[in-house]
Amino acid sequence: MKKKEIFTSKRERTLWFWALLVFIAIYATLFLGGQLLVFIVERRLIEQSTFYLFLVLILAFIFSGFKSSDKRLEYWIYAGVITVYGMALLRMNLTTTDRTHMFEYGLLSILIYEALIERKLNGEYVKFPVLTAAMVAGTIGLLDECIHHIISYRVFDIVDIGFNYLASAFGVLISFGVSKLQRIFTKQE
């Protein structure tokens, strides 16, 4: 009897790997010591790095689109959506921490969603990939906040739980929307 593989393709394995790395990065920030956290906040390093990381993200999408002509439209759509998403976040009256939650959990949910879609495309049964990805990523955010309650120098905030679920939903809806837009545009050509 042949042993069933965990992943249905190399792409699925890669997407889960990246989702794991994002998960680890999010949880690694839990243990930034009080002094280091104060240093980062006082020097406004989070605000500055958010802008530059956002810029790198846009450039990565643009240059990735140049590598593959059949995916170029998809990358331009993603770049446009990310730009609009980023500008909307900048205009919102959110703290820098809330904005980073939007990026972290949005990216995590996109990776989970894309892995689930890849699994489904390879013949595995995946029930409600949009909802599943948003709920899994949001629940990871919920656990993150629960850990904040235990760590003395972190603050538990129920509003952050809502932001984590909202960011997860936005991420999945962006990915879902981009693939729908690409199908619409390619049918028109």
pLDDT of 152: 76
Residue with token string 């905030």: 157
Give the CA distances from residue 78 to residues 39, 70, 173, in Å, rounded to whole numbers and listed in that order: 34, 14, 12
* pLDDT at position 48: 67
Write down the domain spans for the chain.
11-26+45-188
User: Residue 174 in contact with residue 77, Cβ under 8 Å?
Assistant: no
Distances from the Cα of 106 to the Cα of 1, 36, 102, angstroms: 40, 26, 6
pLDDT mean for each 10 residues of the chain (189 residues): 82 94 87 64 68 65 54 65 66 64 86 93 93 96 91 82 90 83 69
**DSSP string for residues in the chain:** -PPPPS-SSHHHHHHHHHHHHHHHHHHHGGG--HHHHHHHHHTTHHHHHHHHHHHHHHHHHHHHHHH-TTTHHHHHHHHHHHHHHHHHHHHS---HHHHHHHHHHHHHHHHHHHHHHHHHHTT---S-HHHHHHHHHHHHHHHHHHHHHHSTTS---HHHHHHHHHHHHHHHHHHHHHHHHHHHHHHH-
**pLDDT for residue 133:** 96
